[in-house]
Amino acid sequence: MPRFASKLLLIAALALAVVAAACGGGSGSGSPAPTAMESPAPTAQPGGETLTTAELVERLRPSVVHVLTEAATIDVFGQVVPAAGVGTGIVIDEQGHIVTNNHVVTVDGVKPVEKVTITLSDGRKFEARIVGRDQPTDLAVLQIDAENLVPARLGDSSELQVGDEVVAIGNALDLPGGPTVTKGVVSAKGRFIQEDPFMISDAIQTDAAINPGNSGGPLVNDQGEVIGITTAVIRGDVEGVGFAISIDTAKPIVAELIREGRVERGFLGITFLDVTPSLAQDFDLPVEAGVGIRAVEDGSPADRAGLQPDDIIVRLAGRAIRSNADLIKALTENRGGETVEVEFYRGDRLMRAEVVLGESPG
């Protein structure tokens, strides 16, 4: 079978760069607390009630918060310079948990900022602590000690269809007067963002305008339910393309951040790309779905198990792997130190190997 790693690398090189839409910062960790994210998602409005844009904005406004961060950075002269960032957050329960983006509450996505101030829609201000952060999915959870909070209603992003109308709410450009609202449609589903350090599966693509300051804000369906968390835009000459983490992807990540303060996931040490029917046809591959290995990191668990570039992973730990999203879910369910069986094609031959997963560096 012809090698196709070069094809995968070419596709990856041609992919548009995805960059964070806003910056910011906060610090600290705390004990877990119960959260609505650990319970089944709230049901839809009675009878599937469709709201006007004005109605759903009015319903969501109390749940959308302004996130102001403060951090100390070093300038080119080695001097400490204060820096501030702005983002958006979503109240998800009455215990004061707020979901936002990791890049909003960190410096360069890694170091937490010194201070996070939350401003509610009624004008009340609170200093927040960072409960947990997950760099690969660009998610973070904050918590404030406040009463009379209005949690957002969380939807089911699996029910979205391409073409459905959606609304993005956030503090775009930190303009005065409260959050701004943009409207568009679901342009595509199931996007995979693999742009260091992001590794976001099942992302929602939308043409609703998303600008700096929107990061961490809700993407809402016409029933007033949060079905995504806006996280990135494509910069450059491309317009009308924004992304949101699907709420179905966010729920288990957020729940684990609240319980543990971090997300543990298994690590293979590979870069990869979806096998598609067109790739399968072009290169006479044995399967039309799976995850093709582009490269294997030296000394990684995959390397020690004998996996090679061009191998196509079709099963891991008993889970069928048909896409990048499936692989990420399997690695999230299986932790570092666990031994799992991997099924993969090498040429036309179906092979199996046992891999001792490593600890995810992210």
CATH assignment at residue 336: 2.30.42.10
Distance separating alpha carbons of residues 101 and 231, to the nearest angstrom: 7
Does residue 82 register a pLDDT over 80?
Answer: no
Of 34, 256, 267, 265, residue with least CA distance to 140: 256
**CB 40 within 8 Å of CB 132:** no
Range from 44-58, 85-99, 184-198 carrying the lowest mean pLDDT: 44-58
| 211 shares its domain with 124 | yes
Q: How many CA atoms lie within 13 A of 182 on its CB side?
A: 23
Among 233, 260, 287, residue at a domain's last position: 260
Q: Do 133 and 22 belong to one domain?
A: yes
Confidence class for position 235, pLDDT limits 50, 70, 90? low
- Whether omega before 197 lies within 30 degrees of 0, making that bond cis, reads yes
The residues that are catalytic are 103, 138, 215
Q: What's the 3-state SS for 222-247? A: CCCCEEEEEEEEECCCCCCCEEEEEH
Please answer whether residues 85 and 106 qualify as being in contact, where contact means their C-beta atoms are separated by less than 8 angstroms. Answer: no
The reply to whether 35 falls in a domain is no
CA gap 320, 267 in Å, rounded: 18
Looking at the domain assignment, is residue 130 inside a domain? yes
Whether residue 58 is found in the same domain as residue 155? yes
Please give the residue range of the domain that contains residue 306. 264-359
DSSP tag of 102: G
The answer to whether residues 220 and 351 belong to one domain is no
pLDDT at position 221 is 96
* Res. 318: pLDDT tops 90: yes
Q: Note the pLDDT of residue 324.
A: 86
Give 179-230 pLDDT, tens digit per residue. Answer: 899 999 999 998 888 776 788 888 999 999 888 889 999 999 999 999 999 9
pLDDT of residue 342 exceeding 90: yes
According to DSSP, residue 38 is labeled G
Q: Tell me whether residue 347 is in a domain.
A: yes
What pLDDT does 19 receive? 36
CATH number at residue 63: 2.40.10.120
pLDDT in tens, 120-161: 999 999 999 999 999 989 999 999 999 999 999 999 999 999
pLDDT higher than threshold 80 for residue 8: no
List pLDDT tens digits, range 265-274: 899 999 888 8
Q: What is the mean pLDDT of residues 114-120?
A: 96
What are the φ and ψ backbone dihedral angles of 217, each rounded to 5 degrees? -85, 170
Give 49-70 as a DSSP string.
PPPPHHHHHHHHGGGEEEEEEE
Residue 46 has pLDDT above 50, yes or no: no
Q: Decide: pTM greater than 0.95.
A: no
Residue 203, in any domain of the structure: yes
Which pLDDT does position 16 carry in this prediction?
A: 35
How many independent structural domains does the chain possess?
2
Whole-number average pLDDT of the chain: 84
Residue 2 within any structural domain of the chain: no
Does the pLDDT value for residue 259 go beyond 60? yes
Asked if 58 and 138 sit in the same domain, the reply is: yes
Beta strands in 135-179 (DSSP E): 139-143, 165-170
Write the DSSP string, 321-360: --SHHHHHHHHHHS-TT-EEEEEEEETTEEEEEEEE-EE-
Q: Is residue 202 part of a domain?
A: yes
DSSP letter, residue 95: T
Q: What sign for the dihedral angle of Cα 25, 31, 34, 37? A: positive
Question: Are both 294 and 350 inside the same structural domain?
Answer: yes
For residue 223, the model assigns a pLDDT of 94
Phi, psi angles (nearest 5°) of residue 168: -105, 135
